Amino acid sequence: MPDHDSILAITNAIRDGEQSAVEVMSDCLGRIKSSDQTLGCFRETYEERALGLARMIDDRLAKGDDPGPLSGIPIAVKDNMVTDFGRSSAGSRMLEDYHSPFTATAIEKLELAGAIVVGKTHCDEFAMGSSTENCSLGTTKNPWDTRCVPGGSSGGSAAAVASQLVPAALGSDTGGSIRQPASFCGIVGLKPSYGRISRSGLIAFGSSLDQIGPMTKRVEDAALLLQTMAGKDRRDSTCADVHVPNCLEKLDEPLKDLKLGVPKDVINEHNDDLVNTIIQEAIDVYRDLGAEIVEIDLPLAKYAVAIYYVISAAEASGNLARYDGIRYGHRADLKPGEDLFDLYAKSRSEGFGDEVKRRIMLGTFVLSSGYYDAYYKRALQARRLIKQEFDQVFETCHAILGPTAPTPAFPMDEMQDPLSMYLCDVYTTLANIGGHCGISIPAGFAQREGRRLPVGLQLQGKGFDEARLLRIARMFEMATSHHDQSPELITTNKS
């Protein structure tokens, strides 16, 4: 029996005939059935389709065919990516029964390589949030402590991988939504460089920031998924036509003269003490591995959250204009005498949740005449300066090391004030603003009040330098054992 958690182990077992794809898929669906009532990772599953595809993989293998490097791997997909089967709802009532006529390119590429989508996972509505509590269609719990949030917005995907319901999942990251839940759930989460993976079929939030990326237990699995999904796509003109390296093959090549940049205020009083300790230990691990630690300065980094919330809200207000109850989305019932304007207003009032409405209002405000120059234009200017700052820093080091989030997972319902929730993104939004890549990997555990909660380490790399970033992440993974730990499997006894 292969591990439940490594893609390579599972697909090799299927290819070598140790286990059939149908057996792997049935096990996976069984685990979801027994645990997901408690965890709430999945919005829906596609049992019949998944087993049918698994059978096809087995038939092809029996005939001597090669169904691809991901043969028979069950994959969960965040609910904001569309598929031409099942529903794609972005965690919103607005799209509660939306059936897409096409499938996202990233998902299509994974399935062409032999992977099988098992289901969609809960996320904050339209990917706006950091706890998955803004989801209108369900609530996900952190498998390490079900009183806590899994992070967000890709919380369902992170919790599903952490609890070994699936070996891998897709998330999307506009300001940290892959890396922060990966940190909270103790898994690997990679935000690729902007343009690395097609956004076709990703329900848009902030189009200049959004990227799809892998969430896995191991760095090598993230490498394999990344290289499978990456590459130019004629359905997304912002998807870059740049060489896709074989990240997996290069993963263990030694890195000579590795220089890691550490921001001079990386350990600070805004972080949880335990996060500070774990980051200091991570720096020591790299130093012991022979890396040179260079102190860096990113004076504009303190503006990241402000810039991010102006730009992402502005883009969201435009992207969400299509949900008017006519072209897309929930349509309200009208009373006699109500007109088209009432239809728009009622449909949008009923379909969107509070956080989405807040962003639409903020976005519309910063784009309105009189405020455009003061907020939106300034945010764009500041964004360019931040990008320049990163370009300069990446000339002095190969990657930047720091925390993924200032705290471990927090209790559900604790974060009532939206602004406090926005501050969870202080370290992650930078990579989206700059367009470069970032990864969160398990770096230790915080013990508090009898709770044992994972803490992630964030590494940021130059744009399109994922192959090296993954190697640097892998060094840490090989030197530590945090990734080997999993929460106890939660099962619901239904007999």
Residues that bind ligand GLN (CB under 6 A): 127-130, 153, 173-177, 205, 312, 425
320 vs 340: CA distance, rounded Å: 18
User: Pairing relation of β-strands 211-216 and 188-191?
Assistant: antiparallel
420 vs 413: CA distance, rounded Å: 12
User: Pairing relation of β-strands 74-78 and 116-121?
Assistant: parallel
- Collect all residues with Cβ–Cβ distance below 8 Å to 78 and sequence separation of at least 6: 120, 121, 123, 127, 153, 154, 156, 157, 169, 170, 171, 172
The smaller minimum CB distance to ligand GLN, of residues 24 and 209, is found at: 209
- The structure tokens listed for 68 are 């691809």
The smaller minimum CB distance to ligand GLN, of residues 303 and 445, is found at: 303
Q: Which of 6, 35, 78, 120 is catalytic?
A: 78
440 vs 470: CA distance, rounded Å: 10
CB of 112 to ligand GLN, least distance (A): 26
3-class SS of residue 457: strand
Q: Which of 153, 193, 200, 347 is catalytic?
A: 153
Give catalytic status of residue 183 as yes or no.
no
- In the block, which residue shows the tokens 């990864």? 439
CA separation, residue 365 to residues 185, 344, 368, 423, 495 (Å): 35, 19, 5, 21, 55
Contact (CB, 8 A) for 393 and 296: yes
CB of 205 to ligand GLN, least distance (A): 6
In order, the DSSP letters of 116-165 are EEEEEE--SGGG--SSSTT-SS----BTTBTTB---SSSHHHHHHHHTTS
Q: Which of 6, 177, 183, 317 is catalytic?
A: 177
Amino acid in the structure at residue 46? Y
106 vs 85: CA distance, rounded Å: 15
CB of 213 to ligand GLN, least distance (A): 10
The smaller minimum CB distance to ligand GLN, of residues 312 and 458, is found at: 312
CB of 179 to ligand GLN, least distance (A): 9
Give catalytic status of residue 153 as yes or no.
yes
The smaller minimum CB distance to ligand GLN, of residues 167 and 363, is found at: 363
The smaller minimum CB distance to ligand GLN, of residues 113 and 182, is found at: 182
**Backbone Cα Rg of the chain:** 22
Picking from 125, 216, 208, 108, the residue whose alpha carbon sits closest to that of residue 164 is: 216
Q: Which residue is nearest to ligand GLN (CB)?
A: 177
In order, the DSSP letters of 146-159 are TTB---SSSHHHHH
126 vs 303: CA distance, rounded Å: 24
The smaller minimum CB distance to ligand GLN, of residues 108 and 173, is found at: 173
410 vs 160: CA distance, rounded Å: 18
CB of 138 to ligand GLN, least distance (A): 18
CB of 310 to ligand GLN, least distance (A): 12
The smaller minimum CB distance to ligand GLN, of residues 210 and 220, is found at: 210
Helix 21-39 vs helix 155-162: angle between axes, to the nearest 10 degrees?
120
Contact (CB, 8 A) for 82 and 172: no
Give catalytic status of residue 259 as yes or no.
no
The smaller minimum CB distance to ligand GLN, of residues 286 and 422, is found at: 422
CB of 274 to ligand GLN, least distance (A): 22
Between CA 369 and CA 374, with CA 370 as vertex, the angle to 5 degrees is 115
CB of 123 to ligand GLN, least distance (A): 8
The smaller minimum CB distance to ligand GLN, of residues 36 and 315, is found at: 315
List the beta bridge partners of residue 74: 116
382 vs 368: CA distance, rounded Å: 19
Active-site residue set = 78, 153, 177
